[in-house]
């Protein structure tokens, strides 16, 4: 399995796209992973599920706009160079 | 740093006057060079070169001062270079702190030899604690358990060269293959560090393992890889598997003992009787999973080199 750095970038873009596509109220709340279900437990250990939900929410918030740019660049590169 | 400076001056000199001034200037270089090497910055070195050139003799001093344009141009060029250097440093220090990186390269020969011994034969090493000095970890020069980035970097480069040699022995070499091998190995390091960071974040392990520490611990497997490939090349397929088994066991032991100190004891400080029975198991799983991943990746990255 030979990787180039470009295939790593493509894999990373695909993964981040997948996380960004998860809709808050249509999907995550339905399966109990919404932001309103992550509060509580002011103890010291938040737990894996809460950490994961926080991670998903922060990735979606932070990467919304840069993903537009990165996806456009990727599409143009794929159209030009195959 | 010296070269463009003196090259510029030399070309200016050849444009106008005869050879003897050139030899004076080149002598200046060799005598000023030790003094310049002691300085770490551009400007003091430049000034020292200038003053020692002045002291060297009449022709040198005259050629400096009779051409204010060249003088001004050289000053401008050196100030531009300084600005460029400052800008690059500022940009780089936005992404990673250079001081933290310097800590990882503060090694010496004794440390490297001892660390290589421990990597290949960790079973007799007694004390695995990383020693601290007033809350800052000791540099690798003073503490043999501290992770460093010198060995992983050198081992990575040596592995790439060795892979090229092994492919050449099998008559499958071409320069593109070398780049492909290098980027494959680099991608696997990046994947492993990202997975480790993700799992440490998800399990809220409050350890002091920084990204560079994880890169260092991932890079130590290249020492095992080099040893395995060498044995495979020298002794054939049987030697390859024996060396693979040996370095896998040694590396697994090393990783488990090193990471156990960093990941697992932070449990005792913040458990506070919360009944976190799931947590120590998960942390143990992470440590063991990291250790088990090492032989797999060693086999994956070296089996195609030793047919």
Domain boundaries, chain A: 1-29, 47-81
Q: What is the pLDDT of residue A40?
A: 62
- Interfacial B residues in 160-199 facing A (CB < 8 Å): 180, 183-184, 186-188, 190-191
Q: Name the pTM for this structure.
A: 0.69
- Distance of alpha carbon B37 from alpha carbon A77, whole angstroms: 46
CB atoms within 10 A of CB A7: 14
- Cβ atoms within 10 A of the Cβ of B84, count? 10
Nearest to B1 by CA among B31, B29, B42: B42
- The least confident of B19-23, B118-122, B149-153 is B19-23
How far, rounded to the nearest angstrom, does the alpha carbon of residue B11 sit from its chain's CA centroid? 37
Q: ipTM of the assembly?
A: 0.83
Tokens 């143009």 appear where?
A76
Q: What pLDDT does B266 receive?
A: 54
What's residue B35's pLDDT? 45
Contact B152, B222 (CB under 8 A): yes
Of B289, B143, B151, nearest to B215 by C-alpha is B151
- Is A1 an interface residue toward B (CB < 8 Å)? yes
pLDDT tens digit sequence for B122-156: 888 887 777 777 777 777 777 888 888 999 999 99
CB–CB contact B279 A4 (8 Å): no
Taking CB atoms and an 8 Å limit, are A43 and B274 in contact across chains?
yes
Q: Give per-residue pLDDT as tens, B261-296.
A: 777 765 444 444 443 445 678 888 888 898 999 899
pLDDT given for residue B41 in this prediction: 47
More confident residue, B119 or B94: B119
Q: Spell out the residues 6+ positions from residue A7 whose beta carbon is closer than 8 angstroms to its own.
A: B187
Confirm if A13 and A71 have CB atoms less than 8 A apart.
Answer: yes
The two three-digit tokens of residue A82, written as one number: 């195959």
Q: What is the gyration radius of the CA atoms in chain B, in angstroms?
A: 27
Rounded alpha-carbon distances, angstroms, from residue A1 to A7, B165, B187: 11, 20, 11
Cite the DSSP H helix spans in chain B.
2-16, 19-38, 42-56, 58-65, 68-95, 98-104, 109-120, 150-169, 175-202, 211-219, 221-263, 266-270, 278-302
**Does B52 have pLDDT greater than 50?**
no
**What does the angle CA B223 – CA B226 – CA B228 come to, to the nearest 5 degrees?**
110
A3 closest CB neighbour out of B187, B272, B279: B187
Q: Do A35 and A52 touch, CB atoms closer than 8 A?
A: no
Subunit contact B270:A48, Cβ cutoff 8 A = no
Contact B202 A52 (CB under 8 A): yes
Quick check: A42 contacting B, CB < 8 Å? no
- Per CB-CB distance under 8 Å, the chain B contacts of A55 are 201-202
d(CA B218, CA B19): 56
Helix (H) or strand (E) holding A61: helix A48-81
Residues in chain B: 307
Asked if residue B177 has pLDDT above 80, the reply is yes
Kindly report, residue by residue over B222-246, the tens digit of the pLDDT.
999 999 999 998 888 888 999 999 9
Interface contact flag, B203 A48, Cβ < 8 Å: yes
Query: How many other β-carbons are positioned within 10 Å of the β-carbon of residue B300?
Result: 12
Which pLDDT belongs to residue B22?
Answer: 46
**Per-state percent for chain A, helix, strand, coil, to nearest 5:** 70, 0, 30
Which of B15-29, B68-82, B139-153, B257-271 shows the lowest mean pLDDT across its residues?
A: B15-29
pLDDT interval class at B47 (50, 70, 90): very low
Task: Please give the Cα distance from B245 to B223 (Å, whole number).
Answer: 14
What the block records as the tokens of B231 is: 């044995």
Interface A-B, measured as beta-carbon pairs within 8 A, has a size of 37
What is the model's pLDDT at position B8? 45
Asked if B201's CB is within 8 angstroms of A48's CB, the reply is: no
Which residue, A55, B289, A63, B208, is CA-closest to A47? A55
Cα distance between residue B26 and residue B186, in whole Å: 43
A52 vs B: CB within 8 A: yes
Asked if the model's pLDDT at residue B97 lies above 90, the reply is: no
Task: Tell me what pLDDT residue B33 has.
Answer: 45
Position A45 scores a pLDDT of 66
Question: For residue B136, what are the β-bridge partners?
Answer: B133
B195-216 residue pLDDT tens: 988 888 887 777 777 888 889 9
For residue A1, what pLDDT band results from cuts at 50, 70 and 90? low
Confidence label for A68 from pLDDT (cuts 50, 70 and 90): very high
| Higher per-residue confidence, A17 vs B100 | A17
pLDDT of residue A44: 63
Question: Which of A6, A45, A53 to mutate: most B Cβ within 10 Å?
Answer: A45
Distance from CA of A68 to the nearest CA of B (A): 23
- Write the pLDDT tens digit of every residue in A20-49: 888 887 887 777 777 776 666 666 666 778
Please give the angle made by the CA atoms of A65, A66 and A69, to the nearest 5 degrees. 100
């Amino acid at each position: 399995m030979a990787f180039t750095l470009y295939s790593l970038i493509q894999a990373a873009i695909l993964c981040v796209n997948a996380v960004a596509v998860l809709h808050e109220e249509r999907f995550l709340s339905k399966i109990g992973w919404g932001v309103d279900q992550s509060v509580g437990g002011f103890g010291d250990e938040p737990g894996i599920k809460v950490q994961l939900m926080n991670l998903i929410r922060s990735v979606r918030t932070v990467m919304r706009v840069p993903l537009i740019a990165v996806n456009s660049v990727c599409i143009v590169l794929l159209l030009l160079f195959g | 740093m010296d070269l463009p400076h003196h090259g510029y001056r030399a070309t200016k000199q050849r444009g106008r006057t005869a050879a003897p001034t050139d030899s004076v200037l080149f002598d200046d270089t060799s005598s000023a060079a030790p003094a310049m090497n002691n300085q770490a910055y551009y400007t003091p070195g430049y000034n020292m070169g200038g003053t020692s050139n002045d002291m060297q003799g009449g022709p040198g001093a005259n050629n400096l001062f009779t051409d204010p344009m060249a003088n001004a141009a050289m000053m401008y060029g050196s100030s531009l270079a300084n600005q460029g250097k400052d800008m690059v440093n500022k940009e780089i220090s936005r992404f990673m702190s250079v001081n933290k990186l310097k800590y990882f390269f503060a090694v010496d020969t004794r440390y490297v030899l001892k660390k290589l011994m421990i990597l290949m034969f960790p079973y007799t090493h007694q004390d695995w604690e990383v020693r601290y000095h007033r809350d800052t970890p000791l540099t690798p020069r003073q503490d043999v358990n501290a992770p460093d980035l010198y060995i992983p970097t050198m081992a990575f480069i040596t592995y790439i060269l060795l892979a090229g040699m092994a492919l050449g022995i099998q008559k499958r070499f071409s320069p593109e293959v070398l780049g492909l091998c290098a980027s494959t190995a680099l991608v696997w390091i990046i994947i492993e560090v990202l997975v480790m960071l993700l799992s440490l974040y998800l399990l809220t392990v409050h350890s002091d393992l920084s990204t560079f520490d994880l890169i260092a611990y991932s890079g130590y497997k290249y020492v095992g890889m080099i040893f395995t490939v060498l044995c495979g090349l020298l002794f054939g397929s049987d030697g390859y598997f024996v060396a693979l088994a040996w370095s896998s066991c040694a590396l697994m032991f090393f990783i488990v003992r090193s990471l156990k100190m960093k990941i697992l004891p932070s449990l005792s400080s913040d458990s506070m009787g919360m009944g976190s029975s799931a947590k120590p198991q998960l942390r143990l799983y992470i440590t063991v999973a990291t250790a088990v991943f090492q032989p797999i990746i060693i086999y994956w990255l070296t089996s195609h080199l030793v047919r």
